[in-house]
Amino acid sequence: MDISVLQQSRYGYKPKLPPVLAGNIDDIAIDFEQKTAALEDSDKLAAIFPYSYGKAVASFVKGKGKIRRDAMRIGVILSGGQAPGGHNVIAGLLDGLKTGNQASSLIGFRGGPGGLVDNKSIELSPEFTAAYRNTGGFDIIGSGRTKIESREQFEKSAATVVAQKLDALVIIGGDDSNTNAAMLAEYFKQEKIPCTVIGVPKTIDGDLKNEFIEASFGFDTAAKTYSELIGNIERDAASAKKYWHFIRLMGRSASHISLECALQTRPNIALVSEEVEAKKQTLSEITEEICASIAARAEKGMNFGVVLIPEGLIEFIPEFKLLISELNELLAAKEASIKKAANDEARMSIITDSLSKAAAALYKSLPSGIAKQLVKDRDPHGNVMVSQIDTEKLLIAMAEKRLAEMKAQGSYKGSFSPLGHFFGYEGRSAFPSNFDADYCYALGYSAFVLAASYLSGYIVSIRGLAFPSNKWIAGGIPIVSMMNIERRHGKDKAVIKKALVDLDGAPFKAFAAMRQNLSTETLYRFPGAIQYFGPSELCDRPTETLLLEHGQQ
């Protein structure tokens, strides 16, 4: 294989482990801290998860441990969207497993949870895995979004586990995939199948977090990759002085990525969906805010700027929220007839006839591209696929309309040349930053320790991430403690609650304190490319979000 110089150099990188994991494996003991409940809907969740509900937080400490040292077989699945560092989770898991017993084996299921259901696997030997250490992507075994839901899927998953003689299954995924992990752990207990299930917090979206999961892996690298690109665009905008760049950023519902990128790059405007929802801002009010900045900058001769838009924005604007929830119910009930409609016009009338008056009026007023994107299939977990809705184009069209009105009234005299961008897939498979390379390796190693301690239904937790890795505390928490009941595909479902941006949190407050200035001045900040080799303060620095959240900024 003709590999790049960087890839070759990254093979030599040795990820750093928290001290408790770096020593002798027989000296890792488990300290059980407080018992947990669920975030909300406790009674319902206790009934759904009789075996898993109410377990205690587990921390690894130095002491006389009882980690299994017999040969184990562990299965691993990469689930959902790619996130930088997934390969290092597998490397850490494999190294832990082999340290426990050289005869142990790691089995990778191909193509996500579907690979478990259909028993499509490959043995992940040290030789095979070597080519993937410290690299981006999930291509070692591939990923998928199958939701294990039906009785048949559960039975087939159990049959695979039994046929493969698995002692444990590690599911590397986001909120929906870890919901799958909790369901499987419960099912295996009910069916007396001696296979434990461990989850690993993955997602560039950064929305799988709480007191114990301080960050999901991949967020660091993805946000830094987008920040590099945004900084480059800012420098180009300030050089050419003729374009307004509307940049939509991946991240699904939560605005963590946009906020982190705003803190890194200081654009003129960065929208935060959670604030839009809290202030019940309409689409026209958001447009007004953008146009106020465009007009103020034009007054100063600056007909250029940069706007950051979280990809999930549309779901948080109250009038769209109502429309989307009605569309979700409608698609669940009338999917077949909508798909069978003879043409766009017939489809439009089936949809608008079934919506409330307000939702139908909004739906009809949308540009046809956006209207079509809103009724595309939901993902297997019932989520609207916001990565496929061109919100930046909608905002550009709204701004053009409003600026034309302002020009006619004499309140705007500038010129407006907008350019739309979407940064998403570019950041999901980058070479993991040192932070993600270390964090993921520690997550994988910890997943082994949890599995070899017979814990099931736990997700790995590493705390102290705003500090150097020699201060990290590893362990796990029960997945059910992160769950609530939500409406999906027109039904109530037990799912992990997404952690959205906290408007009282330090990252948002830090941005809010500077944004008035940013909207009228040019105060861009250029983070440049991720650095893999060099001084620690340059290469190992965590995100601004983590530093601010833990008082380190």
# residues near ligand FBP by CB under 6 A: 14
Q: Which stretch binds ligand FBP (CB under 6 A): 17-25, 86-94, 245-253, 431-439?
A: 245-253
Q: How far is the CB of 482 from ligand FBP (least distance, A)?
A: 14
Q: 415 to 444, contacts with ligand FBP by CB under 6 A?
A: 428
Answer yes or no whether residue 387 interacts with ligand FBP by CB under 6 A.
yes
Segment 503 to 522, residues that bind ligand FBP, using CB under 6 A: none
The stretch near ligand FBP (CB under 6 A) out of 244-252, 272-280, 291-299, 477-485 is 244-252
Q: Which of 175, 176, 205, 436 is catalytic?
A: 205
* CB of 167 or CB of 205, closer to ligand FBP: 205
Both tokens of 412, joined, read 């705007």
State yes or no: residue 390 binds ligand FBP (CB under 6 A).
no
Least CB distance to ligand FBP at residue 383 (A): 8
Range 351-361 burial, b when 16+ CB lie within 10 A, else e: beebbeeebbe
DSSP 312-364: TGGGGSHHHHHHHHHHHHHHHHHHHHHHH-SSHHHHHHHHHHHS-HHHHHHHH
> The tokens of 293 are what?
């900045």
Cβ neighbours, 10 Å, residue 513: 9
80 binds ligand FBP (CB under 6 A): yes
Q: Among residues 21 and 324, whose Cβ is nearest to ligand FBP?
A: 324
CA 259 to chain centre: 14
In the complex, which residue's CB is closest to ligand FBP? 80
**Residue 85 lies near ligand FBP (rule: CB under 6 A):** no
Q: Which is nearer to ligand FBP, 257 or 307 (CB)?
A: 257
Closest to ligand FBP by CB, 297 or 428: 428
Contact pattern for ligand FBP over residues 196 through 235, marking x by CB under 6 A: -------xxx------------------------------
Which segment (120-128, 249-257, 269-277, 541-549) binds ligand FBP by CB under 6 A? 249-257
From candidates 20, 21, 250, 459, binder to ligand FBP by CB under 6 A: 250
305 forms part of the interface with ligand FBP (CB under 6 A):
no
Contact 398/504 with Cβ under 8 angstroms? no
Token readout for 235 is 């420098």
Neighbouring C-beta atoms of residue 342, cutoff 10 Å: 7
Residue type, 328: N
Indicate the angle between helix axes 318-340 and 344-354, nearest 10 degrees.
Answer: 130
Q: Is 384 in the site for ligand FBP (CB under 6 A)?
A: no
Decide: 153 and 117 in contact? Cβ < 8 Å: yes
| 314 is a contact residue toward ligand FBP (CB under 6 A) | no
The structure tokens listed for 77 are: 């699945």
Whether the CB-CB separation of 338 and 347 falls below 8 Å is answered with yes
- Is 42 an interacting residue with respect to ligand FBP (CB under 6 A)? no
Give the DSSP letter string of 6-17: HHHHHHT-----
Of 18, 65, 75, 81, the one binding ligand FBP (CB under 6 A) is: 81
Taking the least distance from each CB to ligand FBP, the nearer of 15 and 174 is: 174
- Check if the beta carbon of residue 453 is closer than 8 Å to that of residue 296: no
Is residue 205 annotated as part of the catalytic site, yes or no? yes
- Taking CA atoms, 307 is separated from 132, 268, 372, 418, 523, in Å, by 36, 6, 25, 10, 13
Q: How many CB atoms lie within 10 A of CB 233?
A: 20
Output the 3-class SS for 57-124: EEEEEECCCCCCCCCCEEEEEECCCCCCCHHHHHHHHHHHHHHHCCCCEEEEECCCHHHHHCCCEEEC
248 lies in the binding site for ligand FBP (CB under 6 A):
no
Q: Per rule CB under 6 A, is residue 459 in the interface with ligand FBP?
A: no
Q: Which stretch binds ligand FBP (CB under 6 A): 95-103, 248-256, 505-513, 516-524?
A: 248-256
Enzyme catalytic residues: 205
What are the residues binding ligand FBP (CB under 6 A)?
A: 80-81, 83, 174, 203-205, 250-252, 311, 386-387, 428
